[in-house]
Amino acid sequence: MTSVAQTTSTPSQSAPTQLDPAVEAAAFKRLYPRKYLSRFLEHDRRPDGRPTDSWREVGVNAGAVSTANGSALIRLGDTTVVCGIKAETAEPDWDRPNEGWLVPNVDLPAISSPNFKPGPPVDEAQVFSQQIYDLLISSNVLPLRKLGIRPGKSAWVLYIDIVCINYDGNAFDAAVLAVMTALRNTVLPVATYDEDADQTICSRTETRNLKDDLRSIPLACTFGIFDNKYLLPDPSAFELPLCPTTITIAIDSTDPTSSSKSKSKSTKAAEPRIRLVRQEGMGGYAGKAGIEVVGECIGAAKARVRELSEKLYGQ
Amino acid sequence: MSANVDRRRILGPERSFPPVYAPVDATASGSGAKLVQDESMNGERANGEMRPLFIKTGLISQANGSGYIECGAVKIACAVYGPRPKPPPYSPEGTLNLEVKFAPFASHPRRAPLRDTEPPHLSHLLHSHLLPALQLHTLPKSSIDIYLLVLQSESPSIESVLASGLTVCAAAVADAGIAMNGLAVGTVTSLSGTATDSPPNAKPIIQLDPDGLQARAADARVTVGCLPALDALSDVWVTGEVTVDNLISMINECTQASQSAHATLAQAILEGEQNKTSGMLVGGT
Amino acid sequence: MSTADLLLPGQPLPARFNSTPTPQPGSGCYLSPNGKLVASIVGVPVRDGSIVSVKSRHEMSAVPEIGAIILPQISRLTPLQANLTISLVSSRPTPQSQEDFQGLIKLSDVRLTEKDKLKMGECFRLGDVVRAEVLSLGDARSYFLSTAANHLGVISATSAAGNPLTPVSWQEMQDTVTGEREKRKVAKPDDA
């Protein structure tokens, strides 16, 4: 803790006033954000006190919302997201009569950040929604056939709504973890289609856990690159706008409790699949750039996903 | 394709329906009941007894002030941003912008975005309940933006959201250090047994802090905004049919209950202050 | 720290602050209709002469008020006025928002003397951080500010070459790398 206090006072030395150091640091941070950040990184610290190459602490709380079929509350440092899954029934599309729907939507509402306004989802939220949809479909997290009730007549629609309450950067990683935790937490009633009434009827007593139908559980890890020099895992809301390039990697998680048993069966399972690699911004031509940095990210992401898996499967 | 397709969201099928459950089977019991309705969990509670109230301030680090409240099944997060510059025209007083939003999963059935007409109504009501507590004349040319996010509610009643919403607003405004005349708290009572079709010997029953189903079944509902420290009311919202005498006893019941809610709120604010102080010692800004 | 002496909004101030004649209410409290001073924020009561106020124990973010010293940044220059964005009031950050508070310095409020010879471009440049005083609430958009005092003016700037400038006189600053001089309305440094 003492080292944190020391680094907090470092950048404030040149701030041009005479007040309490914490206020001075806040003033310096506001006027010269880039300088503020590089002062910290020169001392191998992030402005929130963690070492440069570290991630923020994760809190996972499954089943937080009783009005949803499945839910999760995730804290990533101060970033807080809630995911609630509500199931409804609908008539399947004619061209895929056996399949249901996954409908993920991310909202970054005005409550979560001073930079968001009330109204329809901001651009960032729209991009996140599409990316989570793509991740769910391309990774075959939940085969859509598992959501069929009666071919051509009835299927489940899972509305997966992710709402950010406190946006301190990197909401995407938190949102992906929230979706996966909520899917594992989802309980559906056993449903049958009543031909005569043209209606889907749900049992009041029999349920099924969606957990048993999940094929893979990818988790996302995001990095920012600052000044072509520093690779910042899990960038905060303050750091994110200062990073022209971000890299996101999603890797399949493995259940740490079951992996010990399955190891003997196949060695292939030991190497988790990479589900997504995305670089936003063109990256640099010197320093932290190019294929090397992507390799570095993948290495760091693997370690992080192992850490996240323990939280996820511990629920 | 119709012209008003929502292009900002991922869309599911054109029409979908909330689950329809089989008729109640008297012999059935167990885990499945959880899926049906989670609201009748109040069990044995006296009519004049409020459900436990949980309040915490300062959870939303991005905001200038924030609060979180749980009362019964209602869970609301609230953030205050400001004072912020208000765009022209010039106004000698501050402006209050207040928006209530429901998470789509916050009630039964799901609240589909854009199809929900309740939040604007609720925002308007809450605005008028909170306004008398604020001192907007101290904030010329500025605005205060208050956002509430309902994470869980007791459909079909919005009274409990309004009452808890008012209390959590006061917590968040106090946390933001924005001037108020006093701390506002919201309370609800419902009245039953007075409707013309009720049995002739039925006595009026006033239920404090009714849950969603009780509120819907009641003949009248009264939500009171109260500033207990000043012995003042900020607003009274009545729905349903009620005689003046009954209305007065309902309001009295509310103001009495406000005292204990006020104590809980005050305790939460003081605890929040203490957490801020210890947080600063650790070196956070 | 204990919370025993903390006041909450709506709570009357302790008797020693509320004795007759009732003191003037400062910030953080108000005179209630029954003639008592009542707190309007969470804080502790402080007496300063005949004025009693309630002070928060935490540095709250601030909004511009008349007489406050602020550190705005030049965002637009015309020959007659300079527009500024205000993100710091009395060294405290204003609440973060998509739009910052706006300030405006008229040519006549830039400095005390030789107002007729003054050229805006020789006093400020875009991006300069200025120490200024709030004169009035201004118009619908901007607060009116002044730098007409020795301790007010540019406190931090970068040169045309992009290097930091240091003050060398009350109207010139010097590039720390190239040594080239540029004209500014310089604030007298704290230690000078």
Q: Which amino acid is at A262?
A: S
Give the other-Cβ count within 10 Å of A187's Cβ.
18
The pLDDT of residue A13 is 35
Question: Quick one: three-class SS letters along B87-99?
Answer: CCCCCCCCEEEEE
Looking at the fold, whether A225 and A109 belong to one and the same domain comes out as no
Domain ranges of chain B: 48-109+116-272
Question: Are residues B19 and A82, on separate chains, in Cβ contact within 8 Å?
Answer: no
Average pLDDT rounded to a whole number, residues B2-12 = 78
Give the other-Cβ count within 10 Å of A276's Cβ.
17
pLDDT classification of A14: cutoffs 50, 70, 90? very low
Q: pTM for this structure?
A: 0.90
Give, rounded to a whole angstrom, the gap between the first and last alpha carbons of chain C: 38
| C47 token code pair | 């007496």
Rounded Cα–Cα distance for residues C141 and C145 (Å): 13
pLDDT classification of A283: cutoffs 50, 70, 90? low
Looking at the fold, whether A136 and A189 belong to one and the same domain comes out as yes
Give me the number of domains chain A comprises: 2
* Nearest Cα residue to A119 out of B35, C11, B120: B120
**Is pLDDT above 60 for A268?**
no
Asked if residue C91 lies in contact with residue C71, where contact means CB atoms within 8 angstroms, the answer is: yes
Question: Are residues A105 and B62, on separate chains, in Cβ contact within 8 Å?
Answer: no
Question: Are residues C41 and B179, on separate chains, in Cβ contact within 8 Å?
Answer: yes
Tell me the per-residue pLDDT of A78-128, one tens digit each, with 9 for 90 and over: 999 999 999 999 999 999 999 999 999 999 999 999 999 998 899 999 999
CATH architecture of C69-183: Beta Barrel (2.40)
| B280 token code pair | 């600063």
Final residue before a domain boundary, out of A194, A213, A232 = A213
* Nearest Cα residue to B212 out of B150, B254, B156, B151: B156
Give the other-Cβ count within 10 Å of A45's Cβ.
20
Looking at the fold, whether A136 and A271 belong to one and the same domain comes out as no
Looking at the fold, whether A159 and A247 belong to one and the same domain comes out as no
Query: Crossing angle, helix A21-31 and helix A33-42, to 10 degrees?
Result: 120
CATH of C15-55, picked from 2.60.120, 2.40.50, 3.30.1240, 3.80.10, is 2.40.50
Q: For residue A315, give every residue at least 6 positions away whose Cβ sits within 8 Å of its Cβ, in sequence order, or none.
A: A60, A62, A181, A184, A185
Tell me the per-residue pLDDT of B18-63, one tens digit each, with 9 for 90 and over: 999 988 755 444 433 333 333 444 456 888 889 999 999 999 999 9
Task: Write the ipTM.
Answer: 0.88
Give the other-Cβ count within 10 Å of A46's Cβ.
23
Q: Which amino acid is at C41?
A: I
- A33: in domain: no
Domain ranges of chain C: 15-55, 69-183
Domains C15-55 and C69-183 share a fold: yes
**For residue A130, which phi and psi values (nearest 5 degrees)?**
-65, -40
Rounded Cα–Cα distance for residues C55 and B222 (Å): 37
Average pLDDT rounded to a whole number, residues A18-30 = 72
Asked if residue A86 lies in contact with residue A133, where contact means CB atoms within 8 angstroms, the answer is: no
Rounded Cα–Cα distance for residues A225 and A39 (Å): 16
pLDDT classification of A31: cutoffs 50, 70, 90? confident
Rounded Cα–Cα distance for residues A226 and A244 (Å): 7
Rounded Cα–Cα distance for residues B220 and B44 (Å): 22
Tell me the per-residue pLDDT of A158-168, one tens digit each, with 9 for 90 and over: 999 999 999 99
The pLDDT of residue B150 is 96
Mean pLDDT estimate for chain C: 87
> Which of C69, C86, C91 best tests the A interface by mutation, with the highest count of A CBs <10 A?
C91
Mean pLDDT estimate for chain B: 86
- Provide the 8-state DSSP code for C43: B
Tell me the per-residue pLDDT of B75-109, one tens digit each, with 9 for 90 and over: 999 999 989 988 888 888 999 999 999 999 999 88
* Closest approach of C52 to chain A, Cα-based (Å): 23
Looking at the fold, whether A233 and A269 belong to one and the same domain comes out as yes
Q: What is the CA radius of gyration of chain A?
A: 22
Question: Are residues C3 and B276, on separate chains, in Cβ contact within 8 Å?
Answer: no
B83 interaction partners in chain C (CB closer than 8 Å)? 63, 95
Tell me the per-residue pLDDT of A193-202, one tens digit each, with 9 for 90 and over: 999 988 999 9
In the CATH scheme, what is the code of domain B48-109+116-272? 3.30.230.70
Give the residue numbers spanning the domain of A181. 58-213
pLDDT classification of A12: cutoffs 50, 70, 90? very low
The pLDDT of residue C3 is 61
Q: Chain C residues contacting A, CB < 8 Å?
A: 59, 71, 73, 87-88, 91-93, 95-98, 129, 155-156, 190
Rounded Cα–Cα distance for residues B163 and B153 (Å): 12
Antiparallel, parallel or unpaired: β C129-136 and C69-70: antiparallel
| A296 token code pair | 């570095």
**Is pLDDT above 80 for C131?**
yes
**Is pLDDT above 90 for C82?**
yes
